[in-house]
Amino acid sequence: MYAINHASTALLLRKKDSNLPLLPLLISVQLVEILWVLFSYLGWEHFSISGGKVHLDFLPYSHSLFSGVVAAALSFCIVNWGFKNRRLAIAVAIGVISHVIIDMVFHEKDIRLSPFSDRPVMGLGIIDYPILNFIIEFAYGIFCWWYFKGSRRLLWVIVIFNVLDLPMMLAQGYMLNPFITYPFLLPSVILFQILITWYFVFRYARMKNEP
């Protein structure tokens, strides 16, 4: 799932308790991806390009089910004990683990049970069908907006960012050559997507009473 729709998951969590601050929820649903960006820069995790497609060959430290549970538990402890906010701690923990669970639907079979085992690997592979991927992600983002009862501006943010993701979903062959030449480029693009979606979702989710 692309950045805008992971960010939209934070709207579901915020809807359950409107007193929760939105920024920690936005961070929680993308924490796993931030770890992937960091680990990719450090060379601990990597991707490859073959058959005209990007393959996330090795991401067990950030995206395994075990790692997601550990990150969620640590996040819960930090927020619960450090900030004395149990409701926020529960929401943040759910946000963290939601990332891995959602990615298991969209990824190829590249999500391991833990960093310590090569098998089993999980992933339904919807990413291999770009148009279907786009339709499902787009529908999910709109559903989150509808459930949250967001503003029209927030709706436009979700629509525009989904449309902007479509070229990346369809990219193949020579279009992926820059990522081969400059491996740091892909995690940098993902990081930029995360940061800019945080900004716009945070800005316009607070305006849900506007027309």
Q: Which residues of 103-139 are buried (b: 16+ CB within 10 A; e: fewer)?
A: bbbbbbebbbbeeeeeeebbbeebbeebeebbebbbe
In a domain, 173, yes or no: yes
In a domain, 211, yes or no: no
Q: What pLDDT score was predicted for residue 207?
A: 58
Range of the domain at 201: 3-205
In a domain, 7, yes or no: yes
Q: What pLDDT score was predicted for residue 174?
A: 84
In a domain, 210, yes or no: no
Per-residue tokens: 172? 């193949």
In a domain, 91, yes or no: yes
In a domain, 38, yes or no: yes
Find out whether the peptide bond into 21 is cis, omega within 30 degrees of 0: no
* CB contact at 8 A, 98 and 31: no
In a domain, 83, yes or no: yes
In a domain, 133, yes or no: yes
Q: What pLDDT score was predicted for residue 172?
A: 86
pLDDT digits (tens, 9 = 90+) for 40-67: 999 999 999 988 889 998 999 999 999 9
* Mean pLDDT value across residues 147-155: 94
Number of domains composing the chain: 1
